[in-house]
Amino acid sequence: MSAVSRILLVEDDASARNFLVAVLAHYIPDANIIIATNGEAALAVHTQTPADIIITDYIMPLMSGLDLIIALRTQQETTPIVMISGDYEVWKTALAAGATIFLEKPIQTDDLIAAVTSLMPR
């Protein structure tokens, strides 16, 4: 595992975002967690300073997580992406678009940490 991984967390819901940040900060204390509240902001942030891993919600204002994945993959971006959603039915669509891993909300801490650590640069 690298010394510091940059994790871009894209979540519009404040309570979900706060939970995810707390879990990531606790279990991966060396990670640099960057927050965006929609896909459009995430795309801008990632273009300026690429993340090692992106965790994105599915439904958000301005640009959905799915549209973010499509935009990144269209640019040949290979950063691992974890898609999270309360709608399990979208998992096939998310993976087909280029998500690396799909996690259903409510997120289980063990699943999140296992997913993120498996994708971290070595």
Q: What's the one-letter identity of residue 59?
A: I
Model confidence band, residue 109 (pLDDT cutoffs 50, 70, 90): very high
**What percent of the chain is modeled with pLDDT above 70?**
97
Model confidence band, residue 98 (pLDDT cutoffs 50, 70, 90): very high
What's the confidence (pLDDT) of residue 19? 96
For the residues 55-83, what does the mean pLDDT come to? 96
The per-residue pLDDT of the chain, averaged, comes to 94
From the list 12, 53, 16, 15, the residue with the least C-alpha distance to 32 is 53
Number of domains present in the structure of the chain: 1
Q: Which residues touch 82 (CB under 8 Å, ≥6 apart)?
A: 53, 54, 55, 56, 99, 100, 101, 102, 103, 112, 115, 116, 119
Token couple for 32: 């640099």
For residue 83, give its domain range.
Answer: 6-119
Bridge partner residues of 81 (DSSP): 54
In a domain, 39, yes or no: yes
In a domain, 66, yes or no: yes
What are the Cα distances from residue 79, in Å, to 19, 64, 88, 105? 23, 17, 23, 22
pTM confidence score = 0.95
In a domain, 103, yes or no: yes
* pLDDT for 68 beyond 80: yes
* pLDDT for 27 beyond 60: yes
Q: CATH number, domain at 23? A: 3.40.50.2300
For the residues 20-40, what does the mean pLDDT come to? 96
What are the Cα distances from residue 91, in Å, to 1, 24, 35, 48, 113? 28, 22, 23, 29, 19
What's the confidence (pLDDT) of residue 1? 41
What's the confidence (pLDDT) of residue 122? 76
In a domain, 1, yes or no: no
Q: What's the one-letter identity of residue 51?
A: A
